[in-house]
Amino acid sequence: MELVSISMREPTFGHATTPSLHLKGRPKSASLTLKSSHISQPIASGFKSMDDYVSRKPEITRENLMVEEFLNDGLVYQCHFLVRSYESGPDNKMTMFFVINQLQESKLNHFISCGLVKTGLGKTGFGTTHEMTKRDLIWVVHKLQVVVDQFPSWNDVVELRTWICRHGKNSYRRNWIARDKKSGKVLIRAICSYVLMNKRTRKLSKFCEELEEEMNPFFLDSHPILEEDNIVSQKLHLHQHDCTYASLVTRLSDLDMNQHINNASYINFVLEGTPRSVLENYQLSRITIKYLKECSVDQQLQSLSLPLENDVVNVTPLIKDKDIKLHHSILSDGIELVRAKTVWTPKFG
């Protein structure tokens, strides 16, 4: 963000003569102003506590922090987000890890805004409804699929729409579509299926009649925004030919309020096991990830990757002018926790 050059007068400490700095391209109300006008006398003769100054800005509330809207008879939730600097990678583009975090955040805000989920319930889990809370149930991700046509850049404003649909007898599917707010261009599409798990026994659970009645008014009858992508039904092994891997240890910061490793953290685990040549010359454009088992903190993991061709393992060298596919497994003590497939497009050419 560029700072406008300004004429400088020699500031006199303790007087309002220090010039203001305004951000170029921002309205006056949004400009950042830095000056010493609040310092009425030299430090040597007195000091005011920061608590003595009263903000002149209106109260910051959830409503004016994030503009949200319901479309399609209230069944489609729309919000916007600004791509922050810490969400961007070395190429100035938003990373897949933070894309998935934004998708997850919109899911929670959708449930809260439509009244399906109440806030202030403590450690009840992500998006836990009243009927789920009574039965010690939480949502867990079963399968996530993300397709990126173009990653947004730092400081871009993204419009995000999401809605939920029925998906089988004991799960539901969430759809997302993200567009560039300025151009309207589609950037990202994603679908995710969620299942129920008992937070005490850690076993999967069925939809009860009361929960179905609770969620039915919010389901939209629509086709998935993406065609479902099947993952290769093959577990990778450490000593498999042409298989690359990295050893990892889960951290406390990877845990979420469901008391297991957050689903977005596995994206970084997958990338850690991806060959460096792929990371340097290709850009991740698709990921399909299936979550098989839970994982907790301080577990040793192995992130394995293997090139694919037409969904069949292929050991031929990668061709740099075409998309490539990789198959991934995340293992812990030989047990497969996650199985994934990624598609990569060349960065240049």
Cα gap 263→143, rounded to integer Å: 10
Catalytic residue among 110, 142, 167, 260: 260
Catalytic residue among 79, 109, 295, 327: 295
334 neighbors 281 (Cβ within 8 angstroms): no
Our answer to whether residue 79 is catalytic in this structure is no
* DSSP state string for 72-122: TTTTEEEEEEEPPGGGB-TTSBBPHHHHHHHHHHHHHHHHHHTTSS-S---
Which residue matches tokens 């996530």? 144
End-to-end CA distance of the chain: 30
Find all residues with CB under 8 Å of 141, minimum gap 6, and list them.
192, 193, 194, 263, 291
Cα gap 206→168, rounded to integer Å: 11
Q: How many CB atoms lie under 10 A from the CB of residue 126?
A: 20
138 neighbors 197 (Cβ within 8 angstroms): yes
Structure tokens at 229: 């992508």
Alpha helices in the chain (DSSP H): 62-65, 96-113, 130-134, 209-215, 265-272, 276-281
Our answer to whether residue 92 is catalytic in this structure is no
Our answer to whether residue 241 is catalytic in this structure is no
Q: How many CB atoms lie under 10 A from the CB of residue 127?
A: 19
Catalytic residue among 79, 175, 192, 258: 258
> With the CA atoms of 68, 74, 75 and 80 taken in that order, what torsion angle do they form, in degrees rounded to the nearest 10?
-10
Q: How many CB atoms lie under 10 A from the CB of residue 246?
A: 16
> With the CA atoms of 95, 313, 244 and 98 taken in that order, what torsion angle do they form, in degrees rounded to the nearest 10?
10
Known catalytic residues are 258, 260, 295
